[in-house]
Structure 1
Amino acid sequence: MKQALIHREELNDVVNSMEQIQQDALHRYLAFEKERKAEDQAVALQEKMITRSSIINQHDNLAVERIINKSDLFPIAYLQAGLDVSKAVCRIAIRGRTGQLEGYGTGFLVAPNLLLTNNHVLETAESAMYAVAEFNYQDDVDFMPLEVISFRLDPDLLFMTDKALDFTLVAIEPNNSNAVAISDFGYLPLLPKPGKILEGEYVSIIQHPNGGPKAITIRENEVKFISSDFVQYVSDTEPGSSGSPVFNDQWMVVALHHAGIPDPNDNKVWIANEGIRISSIIQYVGEKRSSLEKEASRKQVDQLLAVVMPGTMAPPMEVGVLDANWYADATGYDRVFLGSRFTVPLPTLSDTMMEDVAKTADGNVVLDYTHFSIAMSKSRRLAFFTAVNIDGNQLIDVKRSNDRWYFDPRIDQAYQLGNEFYKSNDIDRGHLVRRRDPNWGIDAVRANEHTFHFTNSSPQHKNFNQKVWLDLEDYLLDNARDYNMKVSLFTGPVFGDSDRVYRGAQIPNQFWKVAVMVKDGEKMSATAYLQTQEDLIGGDLEFVYGQFETYQVPITKIEKLTGLDFGELRQADPLAKGQVARVQKSGDLSL
């Protein structure tokens, strides 16, 4: 009898806690509604639209139309994409110490073996110890149930929860008792940067309503209000839906569903629903990572943060590997970017360079990223060249909020000069494709992250990277922005036999750029620049000589120094006729 009373008290506590969550959500809803009537958001709307469009895949031509014009048109692949992401969503069976079923919730995988749900679903590590995650609890196209595959949770490895944000992050066993791998169900990468959804857009929720088979609410789920930590939307959910992922039209998780909002005049009627913003959850996790006692727990959090795209908080890891999905849609440098009449192909590698180029498993000699491409030298572990397209009319200011760099998994890590080389000295990981250059259009955020690859870095003395080289980069980008120009820009180091050896690698003495654009819509212009950091590299890598000059040189000079062949660009070079190279002070460049 005493045990039954304790159990009843625990259930009453859960009910009271849920009612409090709902009342808190209602207060926020009413406050948002009052504030909305009083404010004019016209000024902020354009900035929000730019941020929102920057994370839409460039191949989704209907996405912006859906946002602006409320179009319900979707590519048919949208349905398949939804089915794919649903694999990572599970029903959580909540059980007591004796194994008695107490209720259901929903959860989803956010890393190879990490599960996210609500705090009020799994409030303590003990409750997680007895709970079971059930995948495939759904019907097939013939309305026949699939085989349910269950996994135990592992709160001893990691259990992180917060009542205010109503989330719980818990580890899950890598293999169940039948040797089924949790990796078979994939996971939903979390994008912490705000701007994944706008008020007036629609969300979809994959859930287990009332603990029943997996279901989805799709469309007609309008986002009403967005605050710093919460998203409120009109949608159909039921008890058991707590802990469900809330998606935008690109199937990115934008929130963790946690509560319905009752009508203030009738608590049996629901007027909206509320979720916790993913950006808030990820920021919390990143901030609490260092306070975890176990190293194994910290590694689990690092695993989560390594597959997400860093946002406003500084992640604890400096080095990571991006998930393969980050490279799937990268089209790289576009040779007809300046127009079909002005094709600008990649420079050609010499036979010697071809023997030294780092190839992918598919035999490709060029690595494609978002709006840029790179060819790598195996022996130098640096790029032969980079090539980027810059659209001055669509540039977006994506703020630099982290300094995590990535190895590219498509080539052997041994061919990439990693982080150890740059520690405890005055050598910067100099971006060859400048971080801001490819940040334009709807894929600006992805392009920004792609620039943080070791394939795109080269050793540059801090006074060269942050002063000399930066002035040239600023000049080129500012002109593209100010005049709404399109520019195709090639960059790379000069590999010389006399380059200083340091920590097992050679530091290039010189760096070059070739900028290509169309003037007055009729004539292609290609200008080359060569800069040196030789006088900045002393015996102890300290600053030696502070004066610098920028040299504009013929493209043929770059070809001779590097072994690259720029083909017909030589004819578009104003110095092609052999004029003496102009030596110009920084800030006095001309194209």
Structure 2
Amino acid sequence: MLKGINSEDISYEILEREKEKINQEALERFLEEKSEEENKQVSTDGMLFTSKDSTPMERILGKNDLFPISYLQIGLNVSKSICRISIRDSRGVVVGYGTGFLVSPCIILTNNHVINSYQTASNSIAEFNYQDDENFMPCPTYNYRLDPETFFITDENLDFTLVAVKENVTNQKHLKDFGYLKMSQKQGTILPEEYVSIIQHPKGGPKSVTLRENKVSRIKDAFIHYLTDTEPGSSGSPVFNDQWTLVALHHAGVPNPEQKDEWIANEGILIFAIVNYLAKKYSSLKENEQALIKEMVPDIELAENNITSDIENEPLGYNPLFLGKDYEVPLPTLSKEMEKDTAKTEDGNYVLDYMHFSIVMKKSRGLAYFTAVNIDGTDEVKIKRTADKWKFDPRISKDYQYGEEVYTNNELDRGHLVRRTDPNWGKNAMKANEDTFHFTNSTPQHKNLNQKTWVELEDYIFRNAVLNQFKVSVFTGPVFREDDMVYRQKYQIPAEFWKVVVMIKENGKLSATAYLQTQKNMIENLEFAYGEYKTYQVPVRNIEKLTGLDFRNLSKFDPMANIEATGIVITGPENIKF
């Protein structure tokens, strides 16, 4: 079990801590099982089968260990779809190994802690037929690159990753030649007291199998415990029942709490739990991604209470009464001239509403006049960042949105105006997270500003909202100037960005603070960027002068309103005046 990371992040202490964390979580679930009263009868937890279904009982009680010889041949056939995953850094250096297997003609399933990010997937290799023949000689190996651009879904809680694989025209074999294992949404494919087999690449070595002497001790929720021999590198291996049906994804060992370096069981993720996850996520995916899921699980039953039905019950967009009915904070207003330069939808509306935030676009610049987001620190939902899949908002013309062509082959980041994690709260957090990846919410920012100064301020606001369990409304945008640099003969790059943060203080009064950051020195030469950049706390009225926006009466609640200074340099949280 090895965490996939980039070369610049390599730390074996981190790897060991990650493995230990996963194993400790498995141990906690195992000890919970031991603490319950032992039941000598077959468990029916989770409605794995009904009393009218006699087949499972026959499978368990039938102690005959005789199998037809075809059992071995079937196992050999299914083993073709299993590969070793060579985890590599950006330089191509191998940093670890895992196991994976095809679940469609072009999709591999493995663990999140093997392939945990889009970048790790892009660097890593799937190696099929990495095994010895009957003479103990190495067989020909066929290598394929992973293709996260086509398909990439991962989840840390269920510890799985599904990622596409690219064909390799130099290989003598096509991906279809290896077959694939079918995933099922059905429960009851494995039961306590039955036995499982695991085909794996232990310690990154040739393909091996633990054959059937592996008793299932517990099935609860999404997890299964079994007594099976596995080694590091076996993470991501398929777990089979006696019919060679795929029942689980192996992911962790259960350490002996009384004896270091000893193991008392292993743990897998049930396949039906992974398919149920896909069913709930299905409606939020792109059409090509939905088609690939249908190819993996043709009879998938989509969740009725998925994200689409949830969205119907919650209005989109920024809520001006979010802080309370006595603390209305409306969207800033635009002048008549500014309104004429807004990108409008077919119904003539220029406010674009997303889950928990809204955006108004300046069509002549292809960027937002401003964004407005509600942050609920009392209902945070942590969503791990995976592949960045930016998309145009179809409600307005692409001509009014800076797209991918601005950000290629340079040091410009797609800077989130609404920070990705800010709207991720409540039942529709997943939808909110995905909505932040619209080009309407991006702005060209030099990587040093986006990844350092800008993030530090955003982190401070968000962290305090969560730690102190309060709500915040945040407005963000660029400062548009006529002399902004023109890049690639077409795109004007803003040099400054602003924020206005509104919250309720402990004394029950509103606080409205404003901030200005500059990247002017950094973008003057995108090929060789340098120069200092600073963050300032400024009066709200200064932001109004710079942007032309009207924040109504927010200046009344600004601690900088009566200070003559145009701004105070912010070097840390202790400098901020609330």
Asked if 1:451 is matched to 2:443, the reply is: no
Distance of aligned partners of 1:469 and 1:434 in 2 relative to their CA distance in 1, 3 Å threshold: same
Name the SS for the 1:339 alignment partner.
coil
Partner residue in 2 for 1:406: 391
Partner of 1:386: 371
Instruction: Name the structure 1 match of 2:274.
Output: 277
Q: CA deviation at 1:531?
A: 1.1
**Aligned 1:77-476 pairs, distance under 5 A:** 193=155, 224-226=221-223, 275=272, 277-278=274-275, 303-305=287-289, 331-476=316-461
Contact kept? 2:484, 2:493, Cα under 8 Å:
yes
Structure 2 counterpart of 1:584, from 565, 569, 578? 569
**Is contact 2:512-2:557 (8 Å) kept?**
yes
Paired residue for 1:40?
A: 32
Q: What do the CA deviations read for 1:431-453 (whole angstroms, capped 9, x no partner)? A: 10111111122222221111111
Which residue of the partner structure matches residue 530 of structure 2? Answer: 544
- For 2:316 and 2:32, the matched residues in 1 are separated by 40
What is the Cα deviation at residue 302 of structure 1?
8.5
TM-score relative to the length of structure 2: 0.51
Aligned partner letter, 2:272: G
Task: Report the RMSD for the aligned CA atoms in angstroms.
Answer: 4.5
Relative to structure 1, the CA distance from residue 463 to residue 192 in structure 2 (aligned partners, 3 Å threshold; closer, same or farther) is closer
Q: Deviations over 1:126-147 (max 9, x none)?
A: xxxxxxxxxxxxxxxxxxxxxx
Which one of 498, 505, 508 corresponds to residue 512 of structure 1? 498
Cα deviation for residue 159 of structure 1 reads 5.6
- Measure the CA separation in 1 of the matches of 2:336 and 2:318: 22
1:362-390 deviation digits (Å, cap 9, x = unpaired): 22211111111111111100000000111
- Inter-partner Cα distance in structure 2 for 1:340 and 1:302: 38
How far apart are 1:41 and its partner, in Å?
7.9
Task: Answer yes or no: is the 8 Å Cα contact 1:530–1:553 preserved in 2.
Answer: yes
Offset from partner CA, 1:237-258 (integer Å, 9 cap, x none):
xxxxx99xxxxxxxxxxx9xxx
Matched AA of 1:278? V
Structure-1 separation of matches of 2:418 and 2:238 = 36
Equivalent of 1:560 in 515, 523, 545? 545
Q: Which runs of 5+ in 2 are unaligned?
A: 1-25, 35-45, 47-73, 79-103, 112-150, 160-183, 187-218, 225-234, 240-244, 250-269, 280-284, 294-306
In structure 2, C-alpha distance between the alignment counterparts of 1:424 and 1:279, rounded to whole Å: 39
Shift of the 438–280 alpha-carbon distance from structure 1 to 2, 3 Å rule, reads closer
- Work out the CA distance in 2 between the residues paired with 1:278 and 1:452: 25
1:336 CA drift (Å)? 0.6
CA contact (8 A) 1:422 1:428 kept: yes
Per the TM alignment, residue 516 of structure 1 is displaced from its structure 2 partner at its CA by: 0.3
Letter in 2 for 1:430: G
* Matched-pair contact (CA < 8 Å) for 2:359–2:440: yes
Is 1:495 the counterpart of 2:480? The answer is: yes
Aligned residue identity for 1:382 = L
Asked whether the equivalents of residues 332 and 369 of structure 1 are also in contact (C-alpha less than 8 Å), the reply is: yes
1:430-483 C-alpha deviation (Å, 9 max, x unpaired):
010111111122222221111111110001011111112122112212222222
Aligned residues: 338
Question: Given the alignment, which residue of 486, 502, 509 partners 1:523?
Answer: 509
On the 8 A contact 2:521/2:533 being kept in 1, the answer is: no
C-alpha separation in 2, matches of 1:399 and 1:375: 27
**Deviation for aligned residue 1:540:** 3.7
Query: For residue 410 of structure 1, what is the amino acid of its counterpart?
Result: R
Residues 1:558 and 1:490: Cα distance change in structure 2 (over 3 Å): same
CA distance 1:275–1:548, change in 2 (3 Å)? closer
Partner of 2:558: 573
Matches of 1:38 and 1:305, distance apart in 2: 35
One-letter amino acid of the structure 1 residue matched with residue 512 of structure 2: A
CA contact (8 A) 1:463 1:543 kept: no
Alpha-carbon contact 1:230-1:277 (below 8 Å) kept: no
Contact 1:492 1:511 in 2 (8 A): yes
Quickly say closer, same or farther: Cα 1:586–1:541, change in 2 above 3 A: farther
Cα distance in 1 between the residues matched to 2:448 and 2:479: 18
Q: 1:41 to 1:572 in 2, by over 3 A?
A: farther
**Helix, strand or coil for the counterpart of 1:442?**
coil
Distance in structure 2 (CA, Å) of the matches to 1:163 and 1:405: 24
Deviations 1:271-326 (A, max 9, x none): xx9737238989xxxxxxxxxxxxxxxxxx985238899xxxxxxxxxxxxx9999
Match for 1:40: what amino acid?
E
Q: Which amino acid aligns with 1:542?
A: F
Counterpart CA distance in 1 for 2:529 and 2:341 is 32
Tell me the equivalent position of 2:128.
Answer: none
Q: Answer whether contact 1:231 1:276 (CA < 8 A) is retained.
A: no
- Verify the 8 A CA contact 1:231 1:274 in the aligned structure 2: no
Structure 1 pair 276–489 and aligned structure 2 pair: CA distance change class (3 A):
closer
**Conserved in 2, the CA contact under 8 Å of 1:230 and 1:276?**
no
What residue is the counterpart of 2:521 in the other structure?
Answer: 535
Percent identity, aligned pairs only, is 45
Distance, in Å, in 1 between the alignment partners of 2:497 and 2:399 is 23
Q: For 1:522 and 1:407, how far apart are their aligned partners in 2? A: 40
What is the match of residue 162 of structure 2? none
1:414 counterpart SS class: helix
